[in-house]
Amino acid sequence: MDWADIGTLAALLAAGALLSGFLAGLLGIGGGAVTVPVLYQVLTTLDVASGVRMQVAVGTSLALIIPTSIRSLRAHMARGAVDMALLKQWLIAVPLGAILGGAIANLLPSDVLAAIFAAIALVLGLRMLIGKLPFVLGSDLPGHVGRTVAGLLIGGLSAIMGIGGGVLNNTFMTLYGRPMHQAVATSAGVGVLIAIPGVVPFIIGGWGHLDLPPLSLGNVSLAALAILIPMSMPTVKLGATLAHRLTRRQLEVGFGLFLLTVALRFMVSAF
């Protein structure tokens, strides 16, 4: 690989980081749905072993979500839009789900994990295209048991995909009558609860693996983070600001189409 190839890969990572940070602030989604496929493509180009490729992409994405979600949460908290009561109720359920999801992801073959990512991306892409659902399940969030189950599922599925859980949480909250802006703002906090514990199984699960790319901490690429973190942070606040000023419907459609494209890409590569 020559310097031109390295420059192209670095530019691809930087572009993915900018978009990831913007979406983290705008939709409260953590940006993992962008970061994972970008990282996977970069790792494929670098000829990283297929057996660890998807785990490294997901683990690194979760590590990136930690700073972007914290920055996004602070921006939304400044506007008073975060449901702090719900986040406090999820202090155990969401992290526990994330740890379990991360552990499961490390036990799965890389191609199976990629297939699961594609399937969930397909569902989430369709969800984004549909937009506001034409029905609700209740006038307010369910009780303690219902919220706990929801928190476990959101944390688990998000850790398996390497995402911040925003699309899942936005769907959950709006189905129970909560305004979308509050759901988006609260999703930033959900991303923090998922990413911090969720990344631990990826570090432990990949520890000492011989096929990992250089400068890796288990299944987390420190080299990729060195590019992704500084490039993603400036656009988080911009996304959070636009979330409170503009309609997001066109962006939801665009992101939904992106997710469907990603799902198709992973499905095609599997056959």
Q: What is the pLDDT along the chain (271 residues), one digit of tens a residue?
A: 455 556 777 888 888 888 887 877 776 666 788 889 889 988 988 889 999 999 999 999 999 999 988 988 998 898 888 999 999 999 999 999 999 999 999 999 988 998 898 898 898 889 888 877 777 898 899 999 999 999 999 999 999 999 888 889 988 998 898 887 888 889 989 999 999 999 999 999 999 998 999 899 999 999 899 989 998 888 877 877 776 676 667 767 777 887 888 788 777 765 5
What is the amino acid identity at position 157?
L
Q: What 3-state DSSP class applies to 85?
A: helix
Please choose, from the candidates 233, 251, 231, the residue with its C-alpha nearest in 3D space to the C-alpha of residue 243.
Answer: 251
Give the torsion through C-alpha atoms of 24, 174, 155, 43, to 10 deg. -40
Q: How far apart are CA 79 and CA 82, in angstroms?
A: 8
Residue with tokens 């892409």: 125
Contact 187, 28 (CB under 8 A): yes
Q: Which strand (E) or helix (H) includes residue 221?
A: strand 220-221
